[in-house]
Amino acid sequence: MTRLKKRLRIFRKNEDGMIIALEFVIMAPLIFSFFFFGLEMGIYSVRQMLLDRGLEVTTRQVRLNTGMVFDHDDLKRAICQNAGNLPDCNTVLRLEMVSMDPRNFTGLPASPDCPDVSEPATPVRGWSLGQPHELMILRACYKFTPVFPMTGLGQDFRKDGGGKVAMTSISAFVQEPR
């Protein structure tokens, strides 16, 4: 037992390699935070691209299929199907579609209509199918949970009460005549 205590005492007093350990302790969190930031940014960019693609393909279908009447759930289902692999898309996607006058453009409200899962459900805001030759603006809001919510970019996102982050995409089109 005394030999073991002696060896541990010698090991404790030995300072060889201390500089390397100190550099590792300082640099490792910095390197890992850059790694997590980059990974979160990549995943966010892929989700944004999928949402944009789903919205654009769906608005093209709406614009060209003039005889069909689409409601909120039909468009939401089509966007989620065209978007590919957006997790939990059918439950967290919310759409706004309003007609705009191009000569007196007012724009959409500054805050998108995004569902907060921690609060009671609210009705869909701003939904109008429009008339032929009318400019329509469709905005989709998708909520997701960051992969690394406590580090890197996931820490900087503005989250709702349920810890979800909003992502929006906007598309404009003109209703074709029937």
Residues 137-162: pLDDT tens digits?
Answer: 888 999 888 888 777 676 677 777 77
> What is the spatial distance between Cα 169 and Cα 21, in angstroms, rounded to a whole number?
47
**Considering only CA atoms, which of 70, 51, 57, 174 is closest in space to residue 114?**
51
> What is the spatial distance between Cα 133 and Cα 21, in angstroms, rounded to a whole number?
69
Side by side, the strands of the sheet bearing 135-144 are 93-100, 135-144, 165-174
pLDDT tens sequence across 62-106 = 877 766 777 788 888 899 999 888 888 888 888 888 888 778 877
> What is the spatial distance between Cα 25 and Cα 19, in angstroms, rounded to a whole number?
10
**Considering only CA atoms, which of 167, 155, 163, 153 is closest in space to residue 39?**
153
pLDDT tens sequence across 2-57 = 888 888 787 777 766 666 777 888 888 888 888 888 888 999 999 999 999 999 99
Number of domains in the chain: 1
- Centroid of chain to Cα 122: 20
User: If 0-12 CB within 10 Å is exposed, 13-18 middle and 19+ buried, where does residue 133 land?
Assistant: exposed
> What is the spatial distance between Cα 83 and Cα 79, in angstroms, rounded to a whole number?
6
pLDDT tens sequence across 106-130 = 777 777 777 655 444 455 555 566 6
Which tokens go with 54? 């789903």
Q: Which domain holds residue 77?
A: 2-174
